[in-house]
């Protein structure tokens, strides 16, 4: 029934788009807030403060304080990246939307999220994502979270005539910036794939498929599919070896 599903998040799209059964298996499991996630939330708040202070000098911005010098420097790097983007294309009169709620429910029922910063300029929309984590290097190429945010953004800013979508991940603690640019047509094709995958996930009939995304799945400690996958792989390797000897 529409509206009765738990949310399929953009940040978890790499899981549910690869393993549709993950929705059925994890939907009643509570979210566990880790110290890393809390730290990330505080870093994002400081990024927002820095950007708003720079872009809206006359507004009263509630102050945010970084935890330490590392957070201060990393957030400033992100804020500088956004401001450089705005300056490099100032002739196109770019417009920035900080901490913008994006609704991609046209493609994924109930889907929404918050993009760190969206820039609209001439024929291009730019979706920027700050990552404070340093455990996993995150790439923009084919990144479903950014693409879902971009879908929500072009839907909301439909009066602009965008042709291209630029997506950037800024991960200062790994000294890492990753970017991808696709056409709006390509993004909409992705939207159709996301729609199909979300419908399969919501149906509860989708198969479980183990892969690298399992380590981010809430079910990874109890999932039978994940537990048996390495054994299957070993069995296949042994079978290949056996076949080789028989020949
Ligand atoms: S652990 Fe892997 S296989 Fe199991 S439900 Fe999660 S994503 Fe799917």
Q: Which of 14, 15, 207, 233 to mutate to test the pocket of ligand 1 (most atoms within 8 A of CB)?
A: 15
Task: Calculate how far, in angstroms, residue 143's C-alpha sits from the geometric centre of ligand 1.
Answer: 19
Q: How far apart are CA 146 and CA 149, in angstroms?
A: 5
140 close to 101: Cβ distance less than 8 angstroms: no
Mean of the per-residue pLDDT values of the chain: 91
Average of per-residue pLDDT across 52-72 = 93
Q: How far apart are CA 57 and CA 80, in angstroms?
A: 16
208 close to 24: Cβ distance less than 8 angstroms: no
Average of per-residue pLDDT across 34-53 = 95
Query: Is residue 42 pLDDT above 80, yes or no?
Result: yes
Q: Which residues pair with 165 in a beta bridge?
A: 125, 182
The reported pLDDT for the residue numbered 243 is 59
Query: Is residue 5 pLDDT above 70, yes or no?
Result: no
Share of the chain above pLDDT 90, in %: 81
The reported pLDDT for the residue numbered 32 is 82
The reported pLDDT for the residue numbered 229 is 73
Looking at the CA of residue 26, tell me the nearest atom of ligand 1.
5
Task: Calculate how far, in angstroms, residue 212's C-alpha sits from the geometric centre of ligand 1.
Answer: 9
pLDDT digit string (tens) for 10-20?
A: 999 999 999 99
Q: How confident is the model at residue 7 (pLDDT cuts 50, 70, 90)?
A: confident
- Residue 60 burial (10 A CB sphere; 0-12, 13-18, 19+): exposed
Query: Is residue 241 pLDDT above 70, yes or no?
Result: no
Looking at the CA of residue 213, tell me the nearest atom of ligand 1.
7
Average of per-residue pLDDT across 160-176 = 97
Ranges 9-13, 96-100, 224-228: which has the least confidence: 224-228
Name all residues whose Cβ lies below 6 A of ligand 1. Answer: 15, 19, 21-22, 25, 208-210, 213-214, 217, 219-220, 223, 225-226
Q: Which residue has the CA at smallest separation from atom 5 of ligand 1?
A: 22
Q: Which residue has the CA at smallest separation from atom 7 of ligand 1?
A: 214
Which helix (H) or strand (E) segment holds residue 23: the answer is helix 21-26
Q: How far apart are CA 34 and CA 211, in angstroms?
A: 23
Average of per-residue pLDDT across 221-246 = 72
- In what side-by-side order are the strands of the sheet with 95-103? 95-103, 112-121, 124-130, 164-171, 176-183
């Amino acid at each position: 029934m529409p509206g009765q599903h738990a949310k399929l998040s953009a940040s978890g799209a790499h899981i549910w788009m690869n393993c549709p059964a993950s929705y059925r298996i994890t939907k009643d499991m509570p979210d566990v807030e880790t110290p890393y996630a809390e730290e990330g939330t505080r870093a994002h708040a400081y990024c927002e403060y820095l950007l708003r202070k720079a872009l809206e000098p006359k507004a009263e911005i509630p102050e945010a304080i970084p935890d330490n010098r590392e957070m201060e420097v990393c957030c400033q790097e992100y804020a500088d990246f956004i401001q450089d983007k705005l300056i490099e294309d100032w002739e196109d009169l770019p417009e920035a939307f900080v901490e913008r709620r994006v609704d991609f429910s046209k493609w994924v029922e109930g889907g929404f999220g918050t993009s760190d910063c969206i820039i609209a300029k001439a024929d291009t929309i730019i979706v920027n994502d700050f990552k404070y984590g340093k455990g996993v290097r995150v790439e923009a190429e084919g990144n479903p979270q950014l693409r879902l945010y971009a879908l929500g953004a072009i839907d909301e800013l439909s009066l602009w005539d965008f042709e291209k979508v630029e997506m950037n991940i800024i991960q200062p603690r790994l000294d890492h910036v990753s970017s991808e640019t696709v056409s709006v047509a390509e993004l909409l094709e992705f939207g159709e794939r996301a729609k199909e995958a979300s419908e399969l996930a919501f149906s509860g009939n989708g198969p479980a498929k183990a892969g690298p995304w399992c380590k981010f799945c809430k079910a990874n400690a109890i999932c039978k599919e994940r537990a048996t996958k390495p054994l299957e792989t070993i069995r296949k390797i042994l079978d290949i070896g056996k076949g080789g000897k028989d020949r």
